[in-house]
């Protein structure tokens, strides 16, 4: 057992509720440990909690800040904003990213926008409504305190970004414009054409570089974190590989923040960047950080369909397109090969508008994705056949072009439509686009308390890498909000409560924990280079991705998940016997980088399946075939599953240990979601 | 389609490089250029030859990580990034040369990978607005006229890829820098530091070993985000003004 069982966040006194043995336990796939609880969120009125926590969190005297070192892995919105802010406050920050520049973190690719409860449109928006929408959108599987705080600081984010020079879209009067996004009925999304993530990240990046110039932040680009150093039960540093020289380096600190993004690339094909990985969080998991709700993945409804075997990644078409585009398939399978422009109105099935008249094309992502899969499974998909089915539905701008003019459409969506044309060779101003769901975002991540501290003291986790705010499904434009909320406003205020106990005694490089961490990194690198088998890293990654997509994708069943677990174990075994990684450890070696990432995905994939297997309900992005209503909608079981599943690493040959954190709803009433 | 690729191979920063010829076959026109290189790399790996190192991350044309000289053109024949270039832009039988960005300020690390950290240092020199977290006024307290906001946005679209430098016969970074000067200079929030910013960034640019601008215009033609040349005029104007005001 790891040292985390003694962490302050575990509340051993609470008795485990009696539940019947679940199949995962029956199959020996996991065991159940003590329940867990968030001990940091204050009680009382929800709107007072964040202020109270900020007040109660200890302060660090400005003169002491320079003596405190914080490592931040990741320079996306979550990590970049935190590094800049902690640097401004005077802490000594070391910032890491695997790209050649912090400006390239995957946040850059976010298109559609960022939510904030500014109520500039006077359409009835408020902090409470944003909170309510996010809890509901997450299918009642997130923590109320966290989500309320997110909604509360959302307005400050917009102020901060505008002050940095983020060029948000504006109206003719010079004020900020808003658009609406899936799952809500107000307009609260701020945007910069289809490049919102880029503009927000450049804002954070510039603030970060300003601190680099000021000497408070030291930047380590082209560095990959491969291990966390845990000494005396506290996170005290990381082991990183300089990707250019291959050197394995030790970096020690008083606290470590992981802002390393999501793990969607476990599916091989996803909308994530090629290098997005789980290594940072998975290595921390193996050292004692609980991994929460790993099976909650978001499959985004509007992506460009797979074109062939060679495909290396999938491209998202922002869901903002659903504001003006209409989604349909032919009513009759016989029409699926026809030119869509020749299919008359009465032979088209605008299925989202038909099934969900009040939200129509703007239903949440999980619902839009599943319905696309359903119509394709019925044989009404369009585009080329992939296997036995056509996997595509139309996203049609014809009506919008009539209503708004081509210029107005281009002004709003120009770069997206151009990108579509570049990738597919088809002109979306003339022919309806074809789209299909793709893996996009992971709601699961390392378990954190209200302070964003993991179950390893001194290890904090922010942005997509943690599990905290989106429950079982994330609403559009809420990840950017969370990344910046965590980075600019939450983490800098909560981490000081921990840092106030420091500086901690200096750790020597000869310390047992440091030596062990370094040795394990060295050994792994050597092992990967010495196997010299027959199969490339990519071939393993693709096979893993196929297993995950088939059995742990849009629909999951007990039978399929059990099969997937078997397949993954076999594949992992083969990987360590038969992978072929050429080149050496002491230069830039991209195959070696990929191999390490895939090795970790091969472990994570199994945990995702175990988590999906144990959760015998459907909620948000997690759809269990066995748990649906008569008309095929997701069916939750709040009496049994209204908890966060926080998994503890059970050792290389042991089974993971499940800790449940019960979710209590005091301010929002739990209902079955309805968007009809 | 079948193609002949001539690719720059260089084992390390100090190593001598050379062009190596690789034939590739059965390339589909739906592949992206980088997917075509993925296919080649899988074949090299199977034969026991070390795969070709090249940079890419988002493969959506937005992170700025990718960038190759393709038959002498930065990012290849279309106005887009290397990752968004598709094989339908080529024909069966084509010979394609693939090289890294070449500029003193972008030294080669390995094969097609270069070090662009000089761009980060130019931003460190002043490519920001100083606004500490928490110090911001309410966003609507300062309206920004739409034309100015739009021009700022246009310039802010730069992805920092370095194609402008690679395309320029002088290896100048003026388009990249002009884009940042224009982005921040158009906004009311960017005014207080405007003079200091341009002077400091230009000095860092020269210090990094980028060349001067002689109005060739190759940068803007190669730019995947179509940053116009007038951002360089803006930069020069701002610089003259700042120097006159004694910055
Ligand atoms: C195509 C696309 C479009 C999107 N559009 C939207 C949108 O419109 N609105 C919205 O709200 N959300 C959107 N999202 C989601 C959102 O962009 C992300 O969830 C969010 O940006 C994640 O930010 P982050 O800071 O947590 O991580 P990231 O931005 O992913 O940053 C991760 C950082 O960690 C570093 N890193 C990772 N592993 C290591 C390691 N082992 N060692 C060292 N460094 C490491 C990386 O270098 C990088 O700097 C979109 C996502 C995608 C993929
Ligand atoms: S100005 Fe254009 S070519 Fe130059 S770095 Fe920016 S995006 Fe790339
Ligand atoms: S890989 Fe990101 S722009 Fe090409």
Report whether pLDDT(A54) > 90: yes
pLDDT tier for residue A366 given thresholds of 50, 70 and 90? confident
| Closest-approach residue (CA) in chain A for B40 | A310
Ligand 3 binding pocket (C-beta < 6 A) is B 56-59, 61-66, 81-83
**Which residue's CA lies nearest to atom 7 of ligand 2?**
B158
Look up residue A239 and give its two tokens.
Answer: 């082991």
Task: Give the residue-averaged pLDDT of A335-348.
Answer: 95
- Rounded to a whole number of angstroms, the distance from the CA of B112 to the nearest CA of chain A is 11
Query: Distance between CA A195 and CA A202 in Å, rounded?
Result: 11
The conformation of residue A589, written as its DSSP 8-state character, comes to -
Q: Domain B3-110 is in which class?
A: alpha beta
- Residue A385: per-residue pLDDT: 84
Which residue reads 């990707």 in tokens? Answer: A243
Q: Residues 6 or more apart from B120 whose CB is under 8 A from it?
A: A101, A102, A103, A209, A212, A219, A221
Report whether pLDDT(A3) > 80: no
User: pLDDT by residue (tens digit) across B174-186?
Assistant: 999 999 999 999 9
Full DSSP string of A457-517: TTEEE-GGGB--SSTTSPPTT-HHHHHHIIIIIIHHHHHHHHHTT-SPPPPPTTSHHHHHH
Phi, psi of A156 (to 5 degrees): -65, -30
From the list A605, A646, A298, the residue with the least C-alpha distance to A448 is: A646
From the list A296, A302, A326, the residue with the least C-alpha distance to A314 is: A302
Asked whether the beta carbons of B220 and B227 are under 8 A apart, the reply is yes
Cα A539 to Cα A534, A556, B28, B70: the distances in Å are 10, 24, 19, 28
pLDDT tier for residue A22 given thresholds of 50, 70 and 90? low
Whether the upstream peptide bond of residue A331 has omega within 30° of 0, thus cis, is: no
Report whether pLDDT(A11) > 60: no
User: pLDDT by residue (tens digit) across A382-410?
Assistant: 998 877 889 899 999 999 999 988 999 98
Asked whether the beta carbons of A271 and A316 are under 8 A apart, the reply is yes
What's domain B116-131+142-244's superfamily in CATH?
Alpha-helical ferredoxin (1.10.1060.10)
Exposed e or buried b per residue across B70-105, where buried means at least 16 C-beta atoms within 10 angstroms of its C-beta? beebbbbebebbbbbbbbeebeeeeebbbbbbebeb
Instruction: Give the torsion through C-alpha atoms of A113, A114, A119, A123, to 10 deg.
Output: 40
- Give chain B's end-to-end CA distance (angstroms, integer): 58
Asked whether the beta carbons of B161 and B87 are under 8 A apart, the reply is no
Query: Distance between CA A290 and CA B213 in Å, rounded?
Result: 55
Report whether pLDDT(A4) > 90: no
Kind and range of the H or E element at A115? strand A114-115
- A-facing residues of B in 67-86 (CB < 8 A) are 78, 80, 84, 86
Report whether pLDDT(A239) > 50: yes
Atom of ligand 2 nearest to the CA of B159: 7
Which residue reads 């434009």 in tokens? Answer: A477
Q: Where along chain B do the CATH 3.10.20.30 domains lie?
A: 3-110
Q: Which of A112, A119, A155, A274 to mutate to test the interface with B (most CBs of B within 10 A)?
A: A274
Asked whether the beta carbons of A70 and A453 are under 8 A apart, the reply is no
The conformation of residue A174, written as its DSSP 8-state character, comes to S
Report whether pLDDT(A2) > 80: no
The rounded mean pLDDT for chain A is 93
Query: Distance between CA A58 and CA A499 in Å, rounded?
Result: 9
Query: Distance between CA B155 and CA A383 in Å, rounded?
Result: 37
From the list A568, A528, A645, the residue with the least C-alpha distance to A25 is: A645
Full DSSP string of A20-50: PPPHHHHTTS-EE---B----S--S-HHHHH
pLDDT tier for residue A14 given thresholds of 50, 70 and 90? very low
Report whether pLDDT(A129) > 60: yes
Ligand 1 binding pocket (C-beta < 6 A) is A 73-79, 96-99, 105-107, 109-114, 196-197, 223-225, 259-262, 271-272, 276-277, 279-280, 316, 318, 440-441, 463-465, 477-480, 483
Cα A277 to Cα A224, A281, A356, A446: the distances in Å are 10, 9, 36, 14
- Residue A5: per-residue pLDDT: 37
- Residue A12: per-residue pLDDT: 39
Q: Where along chain B do the CATH 1.10.1060.10 domains lie?
A: 116-131+142-244
pLDDT tier for residue A21 given thresholds of 50, 70 and 90? low
> Among this protein's residues, is A365 annotated catalytic?
yes
User: pLDDT by residue (tens digit) across A639-649?
Assistant: 999 999 999 99
Structural domains of chain A in order of their starting residue, each with its CATH number: 300-439 (3.90.700.10)
Query: Distance between CA A250 and CA A227 in Å, rounded?
Result: 10
What's the pTM value of the predicted model, to 2 decimals?
0.95
From the list B183, B165, B181, the residue with the least C-alpha distance to B220 is: B165
Cα A107 to Cα A220, A272, A419: the distances in Å are 18, 10, 18
Report whether pLDDT(A6) > 60: no
pLDDT tier for residue A26 given thresholds of 50, 70 and 90? low
Report whether pLDDT(A494) > 70: yes
**Which residue's CA lies nearest to atom 3 of ligand 3?**
B61
Which residue reads 């075939």 in tokens? Answer: A625
Task: Give the residue-averaged pLDDT of A192-216.
Answer: 96
Kind and range of the H or E element at A52? helix A46-56
- Rounded to a whole number of angstroms, the distance from the CA of A584 to the nearest CA of chain B is 10
Choice among A53, A103, A365, A624 that is catalytic = A365
Query: Distance between CA A580 and CA B135 in Å, rounded?
Result: 53
pLDDT in tens, chain B (247 residues): 999 999 999 999 999 999 999 999 999 999 999 999 999 999 999 999 999 999 999 999 999 999 999 999 999 999 999 999 999 999 999 999 999 999 999 999 999 999 999 999 999 999 999 999 999 999 999 999 999 999 999 999 999 999 999 999 999 999 999 999 999 999 999 999 999 999 999 999 999 999 999 999 999 999 999 999 999 999 999 999 999 998 7
Look up residue B241 and give its two tokens.
Answer: 């003004």
Asked whether the beta carbons of A366 and A299 are under 8 A apart, the reply is yes
Cα B179 to Cα A125, A130, B219, B241: the distances in Å are 36, 36, 12, 17
User: pLDDT by residue (tens digit) across A535-574?
Assistant: 999 999 999 999 999 999 999 999 999 999 999 999 999 9
Look up residue A307 and give its two tokens.
Answer: 């074109």
Full DSSP string of chain B: --EEEEEEE-SSSSSPPEEEEEEE----TTSBHHHHHHHHHHHHHHHTPPPPP---SSSSS-S-----EETTEET-SSSS-GGG-BGGGS-TT-EEEEE----TTS-EEETTEE--HHHHHHHHTT-S----TT-PPPGGGS---HHHHHHHHHHHT-----HHHHHSTT-B-HHHHHHHHHHHHTSGGGSTTHHHHHHHHHHHHHHTT-B---S--HHHHH-TT---THHHHHHHHHHHHHHHTT-
User: pLDDT by residue (tens digit) across A502-516?
Assistant: 999 999 999 999 999
Report whether pLDDT(A27) > 80: no
User: pLDDT by residue (tens digit) across B126-167?
Assistant: 999 999 999 999 999 999 999 999 999 999 999 999 999 999
Q: Residues 6 or more apart from B93 whose CB is under 8 A from it?
A: B1, B2, B3
Which residues of chain B have a CB within 8 Å of the CB of A167?
149, 152-153, 156, 183, 187
Asked whether the beta carbons of B186 and B155 are under 8 A apart, the reply is yes
Q: Contact B86/A419, CB-based, under 8 Å? A: no
- How wide is the angle at C-alpha A557 spanned by C-alphas A309 and A653, nearest 5°? 85
ipTM comes to: 0.98
More confident of the two residues A16 and B133: B133
pLDDT tier for residue A424 given thresholds of 50, 70 and 90? very high
3-state secondary structure A217-238: EEEECCEEEEEEEEECCEEEEE
Q: Contact B183/A219, CB-based, under 8 Å? A: no
Which residues of chain B have a CB within 8 Å of the CB of A117?
none
């Amino acid at each position: 057992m790891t040292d985390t069982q003694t962490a302050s966040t575990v509340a051993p006194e609470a008795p485990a509720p009696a539940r019947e043995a679940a199949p995962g336990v029956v199959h020996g796939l996991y065991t159940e440990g003590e329940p867990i609880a968030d001990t940091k969120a204050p009680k009382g009125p929800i709107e007072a909690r964040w202020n109270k926590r900020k007040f109660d969190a200890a302060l660090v005297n400005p003169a002491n800040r320079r003596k405190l070192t914080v490592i931040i892995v990741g320079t996306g919105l979550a990590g970049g904003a935190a590094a800049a802010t902690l640097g401004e406050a005077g802490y000594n920050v070391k910032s890491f990213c695997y790209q050649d520049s912090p400006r390239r973190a995957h946040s850059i690719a976010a298109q559609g926008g960022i939510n904030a409860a500014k109520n500039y449109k006077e359409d009835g928006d408020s902090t409470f409504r944003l909170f309510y929408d996010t809890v509901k959108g997450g299918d009642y599987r997130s923590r109320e305190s966290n989500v309320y705080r997110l909604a509360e600081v959302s307005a400050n984010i917009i102020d901060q970004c505008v002050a940095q020079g983020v060029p948000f879209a504006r109206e003719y009067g010079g004020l900020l414009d808003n658009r609406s996004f899936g799952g809500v009925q107000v307009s609260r999304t701020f945007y910069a054409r289809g490049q919102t993530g880029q503009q927000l990240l450049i804002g954070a990046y510039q603030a970060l570089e300003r601190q680099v110039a000021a000497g408070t932040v030291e930047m380590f680009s082209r560095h990959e974190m491969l291990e966390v150093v845990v000494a005396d039960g506290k996170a005290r540093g990381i082991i990183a590989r300089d990707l250019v020289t291959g050197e394995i380096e030790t970096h020690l600190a008083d606290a470590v923040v992981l802002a390393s993004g999501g793990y969607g690339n476990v599916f091989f094909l996803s909308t994530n960047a090629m290098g997005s990985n789980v290594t940072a969080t998975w290595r921390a998991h193996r050292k004692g950080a609980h991994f929460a709700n790993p099976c909650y993945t978001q499959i985004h409804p509007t992506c460009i369909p797979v074109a062939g075997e060679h495909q290396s990644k999938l491209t998202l078409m922002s869901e903002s397109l659903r504001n003006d585009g209409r989604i349909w398939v032919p009513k009759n399978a016989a029409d699926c090969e026809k030119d869509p422009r020749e299919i008359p109105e009465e032979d088209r099935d605008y299925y989202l508008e038909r099934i969900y008249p009040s939200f129509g094309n703007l239903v949440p992502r999980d619902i839009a994705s599943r319905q696309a899969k359903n119509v394709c499974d019925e044989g009404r998909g369009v585009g080329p056949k992939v296997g036995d089915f056509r996997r595509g539905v139309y996203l049609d701008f014809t009506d919008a072009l009539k209503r708004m003019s081509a210029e107005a459409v281009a002004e709003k969506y120009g770069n997206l439509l151009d990108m579509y044309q570049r990738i597919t060779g088809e002109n979306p101003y003339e022919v309806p686009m074809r789209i299909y769901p793709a893996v996009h975002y992971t709601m699961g991540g390392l378990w954190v308390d209200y302070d964003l501290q993991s179950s390893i003291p001194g290890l904090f986790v922010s942005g997509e890498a943690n599990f905290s705010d989106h429950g079982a499904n994330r609403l559009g434009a809420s990840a950017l909000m969370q990344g910046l909320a965590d980075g600019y406003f939450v983490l800098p205020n909560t981490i000081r409560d921990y840092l106030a106990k420091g500086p901690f005694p200096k750790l020597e490089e000869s310390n047992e924990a440091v030596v062990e961490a370094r040795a394990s990194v060295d050994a792994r690198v050597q092992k990967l280079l010495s196997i010299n088998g027959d199969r490339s890293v990519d071939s393993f990654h693709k096979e893993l991705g196929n297993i995950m997509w088939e059995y742990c994708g849009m629909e999951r069943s007990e039978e399929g998940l059990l099969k997937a677990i078997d397949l993954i174990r076999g594949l992992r075994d083969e990987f360590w016997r038969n992978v072929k990684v050429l080149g050496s450890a002491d230069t830039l070696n991209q195959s070696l980088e990929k191999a390490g990432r895939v090795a970790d995905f091969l472990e994570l994939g199994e945990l995702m399946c175990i988590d999906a297997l144990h959760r015998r309900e459907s909620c948000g992005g997690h759809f269990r075939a066995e748990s649906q209503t008569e008309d095929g909608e997701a069916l939750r079981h709040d009496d049994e599953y209204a908890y966060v599943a926080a998994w503890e690493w059970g050792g290389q040959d042991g089974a993971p240990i499940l800790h449940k954190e019960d979710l209590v709803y005091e301010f929002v009433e739990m209902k079955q979601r309805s968007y009809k | 389609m079948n193609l002949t690729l001539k690719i720059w191979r260089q084992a390390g920063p100090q190593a001598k490089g050379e062009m190596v010829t690789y034939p590739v076959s059965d390339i589909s026109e739906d592949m992206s250029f980088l997917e075509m290189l993925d296919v080649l790399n899988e074949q090299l790996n199977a034969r026991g030859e070390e795969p070709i190192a090249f940079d890419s991350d988002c493969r959506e044309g937005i992170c700025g990580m990718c960038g190759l000289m393709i038959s002498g053109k930065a990012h290849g024949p279309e106005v887009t990034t290397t990752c968004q270039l598709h094989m339908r832009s080529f024909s069966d039988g084509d010979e394609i040369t693939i090289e890294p960005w070449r500029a003193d300020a972008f030294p080669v690390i390995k094969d097609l990978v270069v070090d662009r950290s000089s761009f980060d240092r130019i931003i460190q020199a002043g490519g920001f607005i100083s606004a500490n977290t928490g110090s911001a006024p309410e966003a609507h307290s300062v309206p920004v006229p739409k034309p100015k906001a739009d021009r700022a946005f246009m310039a802010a679209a730069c992805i920092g890829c370095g194609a402008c430098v690679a395309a320029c016969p002088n290896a100048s970074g003026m388009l990249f820098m002009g884009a940042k000067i224009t982005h921040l200079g158009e906004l009311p929030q960017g005014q207080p530091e405007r003079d200091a910013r341009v002077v400091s960034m230009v000095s860092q640019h020269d210090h990094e070993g980028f060349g001067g601008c002689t109005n060739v215009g190759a940068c803007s033609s190669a730019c995947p985000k179509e940053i116009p040349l007038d951002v360089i005029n803006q930069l020069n104007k701002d610089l003259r003004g700042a120097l006159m005001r004694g910055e």
